Amino acid sequence: MRFGHLLTGISAFLAGILSAANGSRVQLLENQAVTTFFFQMRGTVVAPQDIVILAIDDQSISIPEEYYKTYPQQYAYLKPIQSFPY
């Protein structure tokens, strides 16, 4: 019983010193622990099906422009993105 009290006291003392010395690291660790705990308490959540991830790079900008200029009737849906910026 006394060992547990001693261990708790030492842990509290060290946590106080760490907080006073460099609070940002302690706060980061605390935020990670709290976030992990809340996600574990919440449980798994099914992701929504209506999420779209859109990645745009130089190639994806130039290809629709080329297709639209070559075949404007066939690729009419590309008209809104024929010129950059959108």
Q: Is 26 exposed, middle or buried (0-12, 13-18, 19+ CB in 10 A)?
A: middle
Q: What is the pLDDT of residue 16?
A: 78
State how far the alpha carbon of 35 is from the alpha carbons of 10, 12, 18, 19, 30, in Å: 25, 21, 20, 19, 8
Mean local confidence (pLDDT), 82-86: 64
pTM of the model: 0.30
Tens digit of pLDDT for each residue in 33-82? 888 888 888 888 888 899 888 777 777 666 666 776 787 788 787 777 76
Domain ranges of the chain: 2-42, 52-86
Asked if the model's pLDDT at residue 20 lies above 80, the reply is no
Q: What is the pLDDT of residue 83?
A: 67
